[in-house]
Structure 1
Amino acid sequence: MNNLVNVLLPVFLVMGAGYLAAWRGMMTDSAIAGLMKFAQAFAIPVILATQMAKMNVWASFHPAPLISFYAGALAAFGLSVVLARSWLGRAPMDAAAIGFCAMFSNSVLLGLPIMERAYGPGSLDGNIAIIALHSPLLFTVGILAMEVARAEGGSLGAVGMSALRGLFRTPMVIGILVGFALNIWINTTGIDLPRPVWDAMNMIGRAGVPAALFGLGGVLHRYRPEGDGRAIAMVVLGSLVLHPGIGYVLGRWVFHLDTAALRSVVLTASMAPGINAYLFADMYGAAKRVAASAVLVATGLSLLTIWLWLAILP
């Protein structure tokens, strides 16, 4: 329990500092927006590019754990989109943003440190394989859904072209593609980037997570969860219950995963929505209040649900 608090508490403290700064007028709305723009368009894409460039992408790839994890993620997305439209009556773009929040777990900022603290540094191979696909796959699903929603009523060809343009104009997807290209280049030619380039990328990347968390705290001051309780609850249930639950059922009783793989699937799936869930909603200007509040509420509740999963897992 103390380990979980030690991992989660710094996240809340940085977000709380941003909230306090906005509440006391030390950061204006435009300043918070600029900070989020830096995180969304520059720092987070650099983090993704760096991770993809240095990752041994193929080392730990096995289909059964990946299917177990992503089946749960896509189920949480699909169910949340349908319920947001049919039950809550939200607009199509809002529904796509809510669905994205439900499926996008915080696999890096929380998933890796909690896994390492619980089971040791040697337990991370399965997590790395999941993370290698996490942002590229889920951002592709989210962007395609958002572009289809935004082009509602258009022809199939127009919707497809709009989705492709939206996908390849997204800074985070560009960062992933650049990182993948660098990975191929370095491993094929043996020629690495100069050390100063890596150092500069690392400097920008290190600023990304705290900047995004601080900015999110400021956003929470502006977007309070008034009238969005059902949508927030739906995101919390999708991310903390449905996603890891499906991963556990498929991993244990369908694919009969070994203990290490099952731990990686379920614990990664049990993480609350990450900062990218809000950045995605902010990028499209859809369901921003739901996304910001869901990240905060789910991160707090995940302290209990992760503790429960740690007790259930072998």
Structure 2
Amino acid sequence: MPPGPMRRMARARRQRYWRAMEPIVNIVLPVFAIVAAGYLCGRRGLLGDDSSRALNSFVYWVALPALLFRAMATVDLDSIHEPDFLLGFAGAIVLLWTASILVAKFVFGRSLAEAALHGMNGVYGNTGYMGIPLAIAAWGEAAALPAIMATVIAALIVGVAIFLIEAGGRGAASPGRVALTAAGAVVKNPMIAAPVLGLLWAAGGLDLPVPVDAFTGILGAAAGPCALFAIGLFMVGKPTSEGRIEVGVMTATKLLVQPALTAVLVFLVFPADPLWAKVAVLMAALPTGAGSFVLAQAYGIYVLRTSSVILASTVLSVATVSVIFLCFPPGV
């Protein structure tokens, strides 16, 4: 082949590569930078010894419930006509979470509560803070709805995790009493009550009043950055090498196994609309979301390993999400 066409082909390949990398550089790297900023502030002692827990409590009780309520209240329920997307995306989560709980209990000797978080870390992605902007940047506004639906499913993951954590902390009580007590705790939990109220609002077909929309929007926007910053604060002085095998298993599950299984389900088993299928694979390939750390620190269990897997998966997702965009080029 003459040199001219070869150079044009090489230039076109470089352009496709940088087009795929641009959303990652613009969105994924700032996430890691927020964690790093929290770590540096913690190292300098700028915010005090209890700053991570205080910031996490703000996210748990105020910011994240506002985000979840607004996300659910503004969903157009009539526009959701993609059962194959729901079956494929949620099906991969159920299968992997179940397998991960069994691995955590019988391989790593974890309690049910810890195993629930171990499993959650392998399937709960950073869909809201990273996923929605990445999907829109890659495939336009049409990708917003499937990305939002993945975020709604992520809210359900939080609910199931809270139930399992509550059930796992009830000792030797009868199964019926454990289930009843755990269900009561779930109902009272702000991260469950908020999205349920939002769903009821959406089902009523009402628009959010402008002041409520602004209030929940401002508070909700703080949830992601504050949770990521709190992770950086928490990591100061912690032995990051502890539980390396567990962290590696959770990271591999989240970044490699979940997107691969999701791709099989949404493209082959439950063939979804091509755009929805691509968004499903992208959502599955995202790093572990900060919501896992919010739960871990709120309950005081599995905190170090959860923060470690969020950090590791966020760094490595630069490579794995790049592969997703090379397989499904932005704009195509």
TM-score bin (small chain): over 0.9
1:127 to 1:61, Cα distance in 2 relative to 1, 3 A? farther
- Give yes or no for the alignment of 1:265 onto 2:280: yes
Q: Do structure 1's residue 278 and structure 2's residue 297 form an aligned pair?
A: no
C-alpha distance in 2, partners of 1:44/1:260?
28
Q: What's the counterpart of residue 73 of structure 2?
A: 53
Q: Which of 51, 75, 88 is the equivalent residue of 1:31?
A: 51
For the Cα contact (< 8 Å) 2:84–2:266, is it kept in 1?
yes
Deviations 1:77-122 (A, max 9, x none): 1222111121122233221211111111111111111111111122
Aligned to 1:81: 101
Aligned residues, how many? 309
Match of 1:122 in 2: 142
Aligned partners of 1:2, 1:198: CA distance in 2, in Å?
31
Determine the C-alpha separation between the residues in 1 that align with 2:109 and 2:26. 39
Question: Cα gap change, 1:71/1:152 in structure 2, threshold over 3 Å: closer, same or farther?
Answer: farther
Q: Could you tell me how far apart the structure 2 residues matched to 1:58 and 1:194 are?
A: 20
What secondary structure, in the 3-state scheme, does the structure 2 residue paired with 1:40 have? helix
Give 1:18 shift: 0.8
Q: Is the 8 A contact 1:273 1:299 kept in 2?
A: yes
Does the 8 A contact of 2:51 with 2:233 survive in 1? no
Residues 59-70 of structure 1 correspond to what in structure 2 (within 5 A)?
A: 59-70=79-90
Q: Pick from 227, 250, 275: which aligns with 2:265?
A: 250
Q: Which residue of 2 aligns with 1:214?
A: 229
- Structure 1 pair 51–148 and aligned structure 2 pair: CA distance change class (3 A): same
Aligned partner of 1:106 among 96, 104, 126? 126
Q: How far is the alpha carbon of 1:152 from its aligned partner? A: 4.0
**Code of the aligned partner of 1:293:** S
Match of 1:170 among 185, 189, 195: 189
Q: Which moved more, 1:267-276 or 1:81-90?
A: 81-90
Structure 1: tracts of 5 or more residues without a match: none
Counterpart amino acid of 2:29? L
Contact 1:77 1:102 in 2 (8 A): yes
Structure 2 Cα separation of the partners of residues 236 and 152 of structure 1: 30
Q: Secondary structure, in 3 states, of the residue corresponding to 1:237?
A: helix
The 3 A distance-change label for structure 1 pair 197 and 3 is closer
Q: 1:5 Cα shift?
A: 1.3
Q: Distance in 1 between matches of 2:249 and 2:142?
A: 34
Deviation at 1:129, TM superposition (A): 2.5
Cα deviation, residue 64, structure 1: 1.2
Q: C-alpha distance in 1, partners of 2:214/2:145?
A: 25
Report the CA distance shift for 1:198/1:262 in structure 2 as closer, same or farther (over 3 A).
closer
Secondary structure of the residue that 2:50 maps to in structure 1? helix
Q: Distance in 2 between matches of 1:3 and 1:71?
A: 27
Residue 229 (str. 1) matches residue 235 (str. 2): no
Large movers: runs of 4+ above 6 Å: none
Cα distance between partner residues in 1 of 2:135 and 2:53: 33
1:43 partner SS: helix
**2:242 aligns to what SS in structure 1?**
coil
SS at match of 1:226: coil
When normalised by structure 2's length, the TM-score is 0.88
After TM superposition, give the deviation of residue 273 of structure 1 in Å: 0.8
Question: What SS class does the counterpart of residue 79 from structure 2 fall into?
Answer: coil
The root-mean-square deviation of aligned C-alpha atoms, in Å, is 1.8
Alpha-carbon distance between aligned partners in 2 of 1:77 and 1:108, rounded to the nearest angstrom? 20
The alpha-carbon deviation at position 194 of structure 1 amounts to 4.1
Amino acid at match of 2:188: R
Letter of the structure 2 residue corresponding to residue 308 of structure 1: V
Partner amino acid, structure 1, of 2:34: V
Deviates more, 1:121-130 or 1:258-267: 121-130
- Alpha carbons of structure 1 residues 133 and 58: separation in structure 2 relative to 1, 3 Å: farther
User: Partner letter of residue 109 of structure 2?
Assistant: G
TM-score, with normalisation over the residues of structure 1?
0.92
Amino acid at match of 2:49: D
Q: 1:40-90 CA deviation, whole Å, 9 max, x = no partner? A: 110110011111111213412422111111121122212221111211222
Deviation at 1:209, TM superposition (A): 2.1
Q: Tell which structure's C-alpha radius of gyration is larger.
A: 2
Equivalence for 1:301:
316
C-alpha contact (below 8 Å) 2:128/2:148 kept by paired residues: no
Residue identity in the other structure for 1:46: A
